[in-house]
Amino acid sequence: MILNVLHKTRYDFQTPVRGIIQSLRLTPAKCDGQEVVDWRVDIPEAIMGTLFRDGAGDYIQAASIRMPCSHIEVTVSGTVDTTDTSGVLRGHRERVPPRAYMRATPRTKPNRAIRDLVETALKGQEETSALERAHLLCAAVADALPYKPGATHAHTTAAEAMNAGVGVCQDHTQVLIAAAHLADMPARYVSGYLNATEDGTPHEASHAWAEIFIDGLGWVGFDASNKSCPNEHYIRLGSGLDAQDAAPIRGLVLGGAEEKLDVTVVIEAQQQ
């Protein structure tokens, strides 16, 4: 599938700031399920660093604006040719060992509700395969957290989302990571894009899902928000321990001021 992406992020500052430094994880990962046809990250007035691949196999680029500014706009545009790998991450070169993703962060630390969810989902499943148990956990998270936009915020933890009983893709992913850890399976947060319409109609959707490491198979994606594994409708950007660690844009504002954030993401399936 040919997917066209237009992703704009604009920050408006209440008062001008002295400068901005950003770390960008906005270039699609190199793996068997996706091939970049063309891709561009543009920030007016910014000095762009060299694009490099980190130990997790993700592309990272630094950007800085070294002058006073009242706003900054990051525009990502490009085309990616995707194929369905049944959620299995293949051809993704990385050096970080899977067990490094057993570490919980404050955002993925389990509470009693998550422990109960895992216990219920895996009861009597001791003889099933790790892949089957991962699917059971994904389904359990989806059932426990009905999708409700606006019910949580960017800093909501997995425990807080479970207590609220609702969430969005960020919450589903962080809860699933916590659940996988309790089941002794390495898991990580993945950020990317999703074309959610079958007919190619433009759709606004930046997205997140989890990858769980299955012995003998490798990393496998699980999207609890859609009760599925990633397919040709997904574009993988990068990964991390949680939503903050895997954020497409992380930055530091010099002379911090109150800011207004506006994000627009449009994914369009190109007719072939």
pLDDT score for 56: 97
Residue 142 has pLDDT above 90, yes or no: yes
pLDDT in tens, 182-192: 999 999 999 99
Residue 8 has pLDDT above 60, yes or no: yes
Structural domains of the chain, ranges and CATH numbers in brackets: 2-82+249-270 (2.60.40.2250), 98-231 (3.10.620.30)
In the chain the beta strands, taken as DSSP E runs, fall at 2-17, 19-27, 34-42, 47-48, 52-53, 59-65, 69-82, 187-194, 206-214, 218-222, 234-240, 249-254, 259-270
**Percent of the chain topping pLDDT 90:** 88
pLDDT score for 196: 78
* CA 210 – CA 191 distance, rounded (Å): 9
| Residue of higher predicted confidence among 258 and 83 | 83
Angle at 53 between CA 35 and CA 36, to 5 degrees: 15
Residue 202 has pLDDT above 90, yes or no: no
DSSP state of 241: S
* CA 241 – CA 156 distance, rounded (Å): 15
pLDDT score for 150: 86
DSSP 91-121: S----S-GGGGG---TTT---HHHHHHHHHH
